[in-house]
Structure 1
Amino acid sequence: MLKDELRHTHFPYCLDRQQDGTYVLLNRNYKPIGFMTDKWVKYDEHPVGVKIKGLTAKIAAELDARDRENLDRIYLYNDGATPSGGPEHMQAYLSRLAKLMALRIEE
């Protein structure tokens, strides 16, 4: 389902680890960032996966909105604390996003 807020399609909601160890950054609609569709997307048919250098369980907990050390799916915010829900939620999201953006791509 598409929504009217830009964050639903163009901002990271979570990182989803694939079987090959790459991550796909998903929007709130569980589509790769920028995909504006309600259709099923097969990630392996698009160049959307990325290997992230040094992503450990400890770093995952720093990125995750609930401080979980889960490397399979890392949520940058949750429905109870959306970035557009107030300044404190936006600051928390931007802080997690800054940590994510500091990570490097593994070649």
Structure 2
Amino acid sequence: MEEMWESVLKIEASRIERYPRTGQVGDVFIADICHEFGDAINAFDFAISYMRCVLRVPRFSIHMASEAFAEMRRWLPYQLAEASDGVQIPVNRRYKPVGLLAEDWAEYEEYDHLKVAFSKEDLLAIAHRPTSSSYLFVDASAPWCLVRMSFGIWQG
């Protein structure tokens, strides 16, 4: 709980040695965990556990210059992007495979361990709204905007 509390606070200027090219202060302090996931299910289980941990921090708000803000944008699934014919891969808010920090172009086909095959009906059932075919949330309901988010969304 203490570690999570620290991660949602703004990073002290004295700790910041440099800003990454992306402009996300927290990226300097977080790990690239993409290849730690055994498969896509493991990545989603991690995301749910991560959010349960964050939601246990009392009276929090996530500063955009915090480690937690950077973690959520890199480690949590934002979309199930088309990898190849009928196969998807969970990608982060930067449209990179979940957990990946690299800014370089990512060929989704190269991340076999994250591939899933959802039908169009399955994608619509889990999409943010029926008009969105593969996005799991939108900016207004993003996990880093938790003050407006219901815990029930993540219990699924």
Normalising by structure 1, report the TM-score.
0.67
Confirm or deny that 1:45 pairs with 2:113.
Answer: no
Confirm or deny that 1:15 pairs with 2:80.
Answer: yes
Which residue in the other structure is 1:91 paired with? 151
SS of 1:28's equivalent in the other structure is coil
Separation (CA, whole Å) in 2 of partners of 1:20 and 1:28: 22
Q: CA deviation at 1:93?
A: 4.4
Q: Cα 1:90–1:12, aligned 2, differ >3 Å: closer, same or farther?
A: farther
Q: CA deviation at 1:48?
A: 4.4
Separation (CA, whole Å) in 1 of partners of 2:153 and 2:104: 27
Amino acid at match of 2:105: W
Which residue in the other structure is 1:101 paired with? none
5+ long unaligned stretches in structure 2:
1-21, 27-68
Q: Cα 1:44–1:58, aligned 2, differ >3 Å: closer, same or farther?
A: closer
| Aligned residue pairs, count | 91
Deviations, residues 80-101 of structure 1 (Å, cap 9, x unaligned): 2112213552536415xx3xxx
Give the greater-gyration-radius structure (CA).
2
Separation (CA, whole Å) in 1 of partners of 2:115 and 2:23: 24
Separation (CA, whole Å) in 2 of partners of 1:47 and 1:2: 29
Separation (CA, whole Å) in 2 of partners of 1:24 and 1:57: 14
- The structure with the largest helix share of the pair is 2
Separation (CA, whole Å) in 1 of partners of 2:99 and 2:23: 11
Mapped contact 1:60–1:68 kept (Cα < 8 A): no
Separation (CA, whole Å) in 1 of partners of 2:131 and 2:151: 19
Q: CA deviation at 1:65?
A: 1.2
Normalising by structure 2, report the TM-score.
0.49
* Percent of paired sites with the same residue: 21
Q: CA deviation at 1:23?
A: 0.8
Mapped contact 2:89–2:116 kept (Cα < 8 A): no
Confirm or deny that 1:36 pairs with 2:96.
Answer: no
Q: CA RMSD in A?
A: 2.4
Which residue in the other structure is 1:25 paired with? 90
Mapped contact 2:73–2:93 kept (Cα < 8 A): yes
Q: CA deviation at 1:22?
A: 1.3
